[in-house]
């Protein structure tokens, strides 16, 4: 395998994140690397990777997290060279079984082979699985979401391959026998905690309100006697915590609203208020300068979004209050993989969707809002839509 510049495989091996001058370039390189893999593979290679290799990798990682192996490995020697026999001593796993799983994860670069036969080392990714946020994300996706996607083809076949829009008849319900809100509040309350942690884990992918949007312009005109920032359905308040870190002496109250089951996991500065809240009830905080919704509306069908916006609009002070919607704005011509995967995921979970610029403007207008501007960070996938009540 050679090219004008030398050994192609060696050239590819030399590329890593440091090869990219910016995060935007890194994301472009990832997309190109995915396309390159398909160009290099035969059709059989690709089929085997998708339906034979990937499931064994995910299954192996989930087994390791259930054994708490990565955390125990890290505590044992910092994640450096260890054998299956050594690692098995800290778990309830048969060393022969553990060796088989570790070998498969190493061939997939989830962990790495050491120079000594039968020994392995952790990688940056496997090390990340020792953090609660990444561990919760992986566990939630394995235990709940993967089953949904395997059930989607049968669900769509039963429905005659019509685009699903009925919020009570979803692939999620088809597989799990309930909807996601019942799962959070009744059947599996730990799911709410894991979901909140996973939202924190993926924050870097979504960008930052305080870094990507000119919040100072709104703060400068804010009334210090009223509420400043309402984080609507804000989970455990990670966005409000970031807001408070940048503006530790805010001109007004900072409030995080969500269901009680979710807010139970919030650990916030006493200056930040928490408030139990129902999206489909009238907004209780009147006349705030900013009402912020981060990845909330993509969970809901258009008709529900209109209801949510109508409730919110009734609390806003016309000519003063701003709605900030932090969401994906899908490129209608060529969306990136994050947008397309998220769109299909929202369909499977709630029969909702990710929206294009045109979609957002239409649903906001139906809810009584006019878009002022849409701000997207350079190289970013997520945007912040500023809207005002009409």
Burial class (CB in 10 A: 0-12, 13-18, 19+), 35: exposed
The yes-or-no verdict on residue 253 having pLDDT over 50 is yes
Phi first, then psi: what are they for 271, rounded to 5°? -70, -15
Nearest to 73 by CA among 30, 122, 109: 122
Q: What separation, in Å, do the N-terminal and C-terminal C-alpha atoms of the chain show?
A: 63
Calculate mean pLDDT across residues 234-240.
92
Q: Whole-number mean pLDDT of the chain?
A: 91
Average pLDDT for 41-54: 94
pLDDT at residue 186, as a whole number: 64
Look at the domain 18-128 and name its fold: Arc Repressor Mutant, subunit A (1.10.10)
141: DSSP letter: I
Looking at the chain, the whole-number percentage of residues with pLDDT higher than 70 is 94
- Contact (CB, 8 A) for 120 and 76: no
Amino acid 23: pLDDT: 82
CA gap 84, 118 in Å, rounded: 7
Q: Is 373 helix (H, G, I), strand (E, B) or coil?
A: strand
Q: Which long-range contacts (CB under 8 A, 24 or more apart) does 109-114 make?
A: 110/57, 110/60, 110/61, 114/81
Write out pLDDT tens, residues 174-199. Answer: 998 888 777 766 666 667 677 767 77
The CATH code that applies to domain 204-389 is 3.40.50.150
Specify the pLDDT at position 67. Answer: 94
Q: In whole angstroms, what is the distance from residue 24 CA to residue 5 CA?
A: 26
pLDDT at 44: 96
Sketch the domain layout of the chain as residue ranges. Answer: 18-128, 132-201, 204-389
Would you list the DSSP string of 279-295?
A: TTS---S-S-SEEEEES
Is the separation of the CB atoms in 27 and 379 below 8 Å?
yes
Point out the least confidently predicted range of 20-29, 81-90, 236-245, 278-287. 20-29
pTM: 0.85
Strands 382-389 and 322-330: antiparallel
**CA–CA separation, 6 vs 18, rounded Å?**
21
pLDDT in tens, 267-318: 999 999 999 999 999 999 999 999 999 999 999 999 999 999 999 999 999 9
CB 125 within 8 A of CB 111: no
CA distances (Å), origin 175, targets 6, 100, 159, 242: 51, 31, 14, 37
Q: Are 322 and 386 spatial neighbours (Cβ–Cβ below 8 Å)?
A: yes
Residues in Cβ contact with 25 at an 8 Å cutoff, skipping those fewer than 6 apart: 379
- List C-alpha distances in Å: 291 to 250, 263, 280, 372: 15, 18, 15, 15
Q: What is the pLDDT of residues 129-180, one digit of tens each?
A: 898 888 888 888 888 888 899 999 999 999 999 999 998 899 999 998 888 7
> E strands within the chain?
2-3, 6-7, 82-83, 111-113, 119-122, 227-231, 253-258, 272-276, 290-294, 322-330, 355-356, 369-376, 382-389
* Residue 110 confidence (pLDDT): 96
Catalytic residue numbers, as ranges: 298
Alpha-carbon distance of 145 to 138, in angstroms, equals: 10
d(CA 26, CA 230): 34
Which residue would you say has higher pLDDT here, 343 or 79? 343
Stretch 344-354: mean pLDDT: 94
Q: Please, which residues bridge with residue 6 across strands? A: 3
pLDDT confidence tier of residue 72, bands split at 50, 70 and 90: very high
Question: What pLDDT is attached to residue 1?
Answer: 44
Residue 220: per-residue pLDDT: 94
Positive/negative CA dihedral, 70, 74, 75, 76? positive
Strand partners, 255: 230, 273
Q: Residue ranges of the alpha helices (H) in 69-144?
A: 69-77, 84-88, 95-107, 124-128, 132-140
Please choose, from the candidates 293, 250, 297, the residue with its C-alpha nearest in 3D space to the C-alpha of residue 269: 250
């Amino acid at each position: 395998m050679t090219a004008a510049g030398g050994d192609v495989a060696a050239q590819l091996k030399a590329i890593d994140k440091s090869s990219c001058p910016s995060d935007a370039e890194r994301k472009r390189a990832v997309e190109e690397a995915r396309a390159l893999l398909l160009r290099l593979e035969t059709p059989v290679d690709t089929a085997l990777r998708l339906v034979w290799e990937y499931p064994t990798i995910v299954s192996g990682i989930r087994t390791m997290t259930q054994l708490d192996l990565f955390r125990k490995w890290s505590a044992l020697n910092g994640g450096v060279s260890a054998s299956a026999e050594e690692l098995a001593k800290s778990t309830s796993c048969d060393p022969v079984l553990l060796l088989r799983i570790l070998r498969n994860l190493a061939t997939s670069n989830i962990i790495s082979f050491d120079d000594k036969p039968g020994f392995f080392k952790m990688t940056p990714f496997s090390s990340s699985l020792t953090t609660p946020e990444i561990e919760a994300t992986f566990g939630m996706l394995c235990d709940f979401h993967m089953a949904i996607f395997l059930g989607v083809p049968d669900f769509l076949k039963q429905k005659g391959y019509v685009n699903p829009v009925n919020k009570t008849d979803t692939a999620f319900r088809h597989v799990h026998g309930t909807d996601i809100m019942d799962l959070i509040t009744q059947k599996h309350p730990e799911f709410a905690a894991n979901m909140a942690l996973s939202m924190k884990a993926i924050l870097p992918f979504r960008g930052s309100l305080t870094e990507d949007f000119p919040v100072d312009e709104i703060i400068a005109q804010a009334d210090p006697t009223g509420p400043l920032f309402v984080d609507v359905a804000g989970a455990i308040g990670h966005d409000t915590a970031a807001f408070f870190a940048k503006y530790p002496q805010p001109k007004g109250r900072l409030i995080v609203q969500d269901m009680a089951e979710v807010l139970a996991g919030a650990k916030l500065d006493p200056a930040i208020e928490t408030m139990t809240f129902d999206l489909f009830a009238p907004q209780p905080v009147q006349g705030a300068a900013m009402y912020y919704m981060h990845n909330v509306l993509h969970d809901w069908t258009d008709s529900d979004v209109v209801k949510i916006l109508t409730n919110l609009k009734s609390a806003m002070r016309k000519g003063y209050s701003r709605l900030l919607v932090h969401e994906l704005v899908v490129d209608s011509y060529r969306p990136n993989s994050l947008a397309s995967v998220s769109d299909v995921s929202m369909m499977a979970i709630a029969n909702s969707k990710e929206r294009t610029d045109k979609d957002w403007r239409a649903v906001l207008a139906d809810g009584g809002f006019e878009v002022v501007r849409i701000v997207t960070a350079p190289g970013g996938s997520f945007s912040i839509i500023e809207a005002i009540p009409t």
